[in-house]
Amino acid sequence: MQAITDIGGPAQPLLTITGLTKHFPLTKDALGGGSGVVRAVDGVSFEVLKGETLGVVGESGCGKSTTARLMMQLMAPTAGQIVFDGCTVGGRDLPLKEFRRQVQMVFQDSYASLNPRLTIEDSVAFGPQVHGVPQRQAVARARDLLDRVGLAPGRFAERYPHELSGGQRQRVNIARALALQPRMVILDEAVSALDKSVEAQVLNLLTDLKAEFGLTYVFISHDLNVVHYMSDRVMVMYLGQVAEIGPSDALFRQPAHPYTGALLSSMPSMDPDHRTEVAPLAGDPPNPIDPPAGCRFHPRCALAAPVCAQRVPVRTITGPHHVAACLVHEPGSGHPQAVAALAQAA
């Protein structure tokens, strides 16, 4: 296994995703009715820059995990293109097996993602052997990595997954992801099942490993505090679409999309003297089977105007490296706030 060389230079995004779409067909019910599609991911475009951590947030059903699985090519997209460092994934320059070596994933359920019949050393050494590394070398590397993630090989290498705690198992999954010397790691709710004190240990480990191996992370989580702490940029998804992408600090300080604002004010206040009095959003996240017309967020949005039910917002620049898909920010959209902003400017 050779070291992987950078192809396009530091300015070229590591991953460019254009118009990514995944529709799941609904099976017909017993009477033959009720067919349709779940628009799990619907026209998502974004870039992952070299060496950054891109956070992805959104409610359940917003398509963040489906997006991760599509990025990993664990399922075939309905439409859309994935380009990795200038090469089309699955094309002649970058066959799928080679792509998978460069992009690895860590899942939420640390137990379900390990083979219960393999010792953790064998689990970590398995991937490199598939990619042609001789067994002894693969095992030696596995032991190095286990040591690196804080599991002394002398004590742990021969153990089976059920003999470890959740935090230890997640360390094994991280070691396994790194065994192939990938350039990018997708962390799909990787710390969500852990206790807070263990979560902090694993987050510190991820930060150290990123610096040591020059990794790029896509960090998916529903915990906004953790995403803010970990990410350079954050992408907010709503009902299978991108609502907002921006630098972490700017997005948390001054969210451009009303949905991002509502999401942020849903976080518990941590202040017993100023508890939250009104829930920022009513109701549950709606169903991606039959998304609302126009802007998909308009039925729950505090700023919604009649135009929001008719017109689909396009991505508009709202600040440096900061875009949002909201008619309020779209000049000429006909939204009262956009009209007012235009009048003020003139």
Partner 1 sequence: MNTPQPPTEPMVVLRDLSVTFTGARKPVQAVSGVSLQVQRGEVVALIGESGSGKSVTLRTLLRLHPERRTRIGGEVRVAGQDLLALSGRQLADYRGKVTSMIFQEPLLALDPVYTVGAQIVESIRRHEGVTAAEAQQRALALFERVRIPSPARRLQAYPHEMSGGMRQRAMIALALACRPQLLLADEPTTALDATVQIQILLLLRELQRDLGLSVIFVTHDIGAAVEVADRIAVMYAGRIVEEGTARDLIRNPRHPYTIALLKSRAHGAMARGTPLETIAGAPPDLSALPPGCAFAERCGLATDACRAQQPPVIEIAPGHRARCLRTNVAAATAPVLVPHL
If one asks whether residue 148 binds partner 1 (CB under 8 A), the answer comes out as: no
Q: Which residue, 108 or 333, has its beta carbon nearer to partner 1?
A: 108
Q: Which residue, 60 or 88, has its beta carbon nearer to partner 1?
A: 60
How near is the Cβ of 272 to partner 1 at its closest, in Å?
Answer: 4
Q: Which residue, 89 or 326, has its beta carbon nearer to partner 1?
A: 326
How near is the Cβ of 221 to partner 1 at its closest, in Å?
Answer: 10
Stretch 226-245: interaction string toward partner 1, x if CB under 8 A: x-xxxxx-------------
How near is the Cβ of 311 to partner 1 at its closest, in Å?
Answer: 25
Residues from 276 through 305 that contact partner 1 (CB under 8 A): 276-285
If one asks whether residue 262 binds partner 1 (CB under 8 A), the answer comes out as: yes
If one asks whether residue 33 binds partner 1 (CB under 8 A), the answer comes out as: no
If one asks whether residue 268 binds partner 1 (CB under 8 A), the answer comes out as: yes
How near is the Cβ of 247 to partner 1 at its closest, in Å?
Answer: 11
Please write down the HEC assignment for all residues of the chain. CCCCCCCCCCCCCCEEEEEEEEEEEECCCCCCCCCEEEEEEEEEEEEECCCCEEEEECCCCCCHHHHHHHHCCCCCCCEEEEEECCEECCCCCCCHHHHHHHEEEECCCCCCCCCCCCCHHHHHHHHHHHCCCCHHHHHHHHHHHHHHCCCCHHHHCCCCHHHCCHHHHHHHHHHHHHCCCCCEEEEECCCCCCCHHHHHHHHHHHHHHHHHHCCEEEEECCCHHHHHHHCCEEEEEECCEEEEEEEHHHHHHCCCCHHHHHHHHCCCCCCCCCCCCCCCCCCCCCCCCCCCCCCCCHHHCCCCCHHHHCCCCCCEEEECCEEECCHHHCCCCCCHHHHHHHHHHC
Residues from 52 through 91 that contact partner 1 (CB under 8 A): 59-60
Q: Which residue, 262 or 295, has its beta carbon nearer to partner 1?
A: 262
Q: Which residue, 93 or 212, has its beta carbon nearer to partner 1?
A: 212
How near is the Cβ of 68 to partner 1 at its closest, in Å?
Answer: 17
Residues that bind partner 1 (CB under 8 A): 59-60, 165-167, 195-201, 203-204, 207, 222, 224-226, 228-232, 248, 252, 262-285
